[in-house]
Amino acid sequence: MRKTGFRALLTIGIALLCTHINAQERDDRATILNFKGIQFTSKDSLFYTNFRFRMQNRVKYTNTLDGEKNDEWEARVRRLRMRVDGYIYTPKISYSVQLAFTRGDQDFDDSGIPNIVRDAVIFYNFSDDFYIGFGQNKLPGNRQRVNSSGQLQFAERSIVNANFSIDRDFGISANLSKKIGDMPFNLKAEISTGEGRAVNTTDNGLAYTGRVELLPFGQFTNSGDYSEGDLEREETPKLSIGGGYSFNNKTTRLSGQTGAFVKDAKDLSTLFADAIFKYNGFAYQVEYMKRNVDNPFNQDLEGKEVYVYKGYGINQQISYLFSKGYELAGRYTFVDPHKDIRPKEERTEILEAGLTKYMKAHRLKFQLNGNYLVKDGYYNNKMDDNKWGFTFQVELGI
């Protein structure tokens, strides 16, 4: 009887886990509205905890076409994260904590300390469509950055995101979701410190970020507007158009919330616009970002000359999901430096192709990506700075 009961409970637990595992993950929202993972509730229902983890294991190869043997291999755990969400006393007061355990995920190279805490934010949910947040979390910036790294159809985000993203910060945010007629829209705004997640103190300059999203054909299935690829196979066309702006006043880091610490505080502004379309297994997304600063040149704390990547970039991705969970995807990305930093930076383009096998949506998938990086438009193997490579990655999580 004991063995039978245990097996029954185990079967039910696995079934519940598989039911929740298909839910999409949003790093910018109060996840109390979207339960998933391993769940615990107190007997009096005053406390609830939702535990999850995920890891990304990868092998990556890069070859620089400079006539020398500049092969690079990367074999490592790219990400290992644990996340806890829940509520205390009432579902109106919820929280989200996310921890990172790999060096590449801790901002170690720029800050010199292991920044284990990625998210530590408290939400107050006034209603299902309006909540505020207080703490450290992702800013309401470009879509691909706010999108969880666990929901990507390529092993990494684009170089547009890498060069211009505003990333995480500590502050207070407000999030509103309503409708104009039958069209849903989302408004998001945050006031934050402007120095990211690696500081104990900050100056009197703050960062101000706002974002708006319009969904003219209605809501995506299962929050699919923040998940790459049409895994839900939308039965009707779905479109989300978003855009926003961030102004970081007197930041002491090179790229605002990220990068090396610098001697002279600067004002940075970042403009972003994006869209995602899905229908019947087909998906397309595009993202534009632009950063501006009066004088991009600065010095780090050791006196070395550094500079802000001033300029703009565009990323485009297209994909189709075949039967049995196979997806083909293509990506074209370019970043174009401003004339102020042209002596230091070249226009960069990347062509990428991806093959993904989804075993359980984004929670268990196998990814194989190939890419070709081009400098200043010279599509030939004689350009010293051009590169090609591939990445194989396995993601597993709950």
**Which pLDDT band, with edges at 50, 70 and 90, does 21 fall under?**
very low
DSSP per-residue string spanning 94-140: EEEEEEE-SGGGTTHHHHSS---EEEEEEEEEEETTEEEEEEEEE-S
**Which pLDDT band, with edges at 50, 70 and 90, does 69 fall under?**
low
Distance between CA 233 and CA 278 in Å, rounded?
Answer: 8
* Residue 114: per-residue pLDDT: 86
* Residue 204: per-residue pLDDT: 82
Q: Determine what percent of the chain is predicted with pLDDT higher than 90.
A: 77
What pLDDT, in 10s, does the model give residues 295-331?
A: 999 999 999 999 999 999 999 999 999 989 999 999 9
Distance between CA 346 and CA 343 in Å, rounded?
Answer: 8
**Which pLDDT band, with edges at 50, 70 and 90, does 109 fall under?**
confident
| pLDDT, mean over the chain | 89
Residue 85 CA to its chain's centroid (Å): 18
**pTM to 2 decimals?**
0.89
* Residue 344 reports pLDDT greater than 80: yes
**Which pLDDT band, with edges at 50, 70 and 90, does 14 fall under?**
very low
**Which pLDDT band, with edges at 50, 70 and 90, does 202 fall under?**
confident
CB 337 within 8 A of CB 310: yes
* Residue 22 reports pLDDT greater than 50: no
* Residue 85 reports pLDDT greater than 70: yes
Give the number of other CB atoms < 10 A from CB of residue 44.
6
* Residue 398: per-residue pLDDT: 87
φ and ψ at residue 385, rounded to 5 degrees: -95, -5
The three-point CA angle 176-182-187 to 5° equals 20
Closest Cα partner for 193 from 106, 265, 109?
265
Distance between CA 67 and CA 131 in Å, rounded?
Answer: 56
What pLDDT, in 10s, does the model give residues 112-148?
A: 788 899 999 999 999 989 999 999 999 999 999 999 9
More confident call, 387 vs 18: 387
Q: Any alpha helices (H) in the chain, and if so which ranges?
A: 2-20, 108-111, 143-146, 159-164
* Residue 28 reports pLDDT greater than 70: no
Residue 231 CA to its chain's centroid (Å): 18
**Which pLDDT band, with edges at 50, 70 and 90, does 7 fall under?**
very low
Closest Cα partner for 116 from 165, 164, 65, 80?
80
CB 285 within 8 A of CB 277: yes
3-state secondary structure (DSSP) of residue 11: helix
Distance between CA 245 and CA 29 in Å, rounded?
Answer: 19
Token pair belonging to 274: 């994006």
Q: What is the CATH number of domain 37-395?
A: 2.40.160.10
